[in-house]
Chain A
């Protein structure tokens, strides 16, 4: 039992760390503010959640009420991260868009802007 639980804990935290590594490499390698937000926003939210789920699973080693409550507390934090992560990413992205930060890939920092009209929707 404890063996299986340990496997789950290691699996979740391990996947979390791998995603964190990916996010970090992304922040370093991506060329501009907007693309870096992709790395920071997505990798961060998921890896934090994965690591927290791993921690919550670790609490189940001692299945008494106190440990269960700690596990629930950690799951609540994970849910909060799942809500606040994308919200914060959107807020930073919105602020960057509003202050007209240069885009990568064009000489003058402008960007190809694709506008979809109402009647073009399928």
Chain B
């Protein structure tokens, strides 16, 4: 296992009186794709939001790239977050500006690059996600899958060390989902990016994930490699991975 880029110790989280996560201890190694799985409402997205500093836990410690983010002030946290990209479930593109302008936001805010260079990087990123033709398009003019790919282009604009993705393949057709997986895989293999993704897509998990974290009953039920997860005798995991194959056999 590579050195961890994210470490979480004894995390406890709740929304009001409702406990969402407790005793969460996990490590996410560098240069690997870690998939966080679990049933709906088990706290996957909540865990992701804790990792990117959008939510504060009741208890516990979260270390990103060696820094305990709960102890950082806003500026220090922003410095850490500059090294992370986030692909939100809905894309979260700003609807009033073009795709190019959306991708330009982090480049203009966090670098001293000239307009020419920013334009080239925007072109690179759009080509990477197959949206070269949509440079001037508004997000509202794109399909759901295209919006998600555009959001990925924005998330990787600064070549983040860690890419967090909330349901990257949700709502995409199998072909687009597979090409998105290939893109994520190449980001990991060629650029050494660490990927943390919350997902339900078993096909995608089997294609690209190195490591699995399974949440259930408000805690981590399983943490290990994909192979270990596939061979696990934990009933929830067996059901999770078999649901895909049983659907296929029915079809």
- A and B bound? no
Interface residues of A (CB under 8 A from B): none
B-to-A contact residues, CB < 8 Å: none
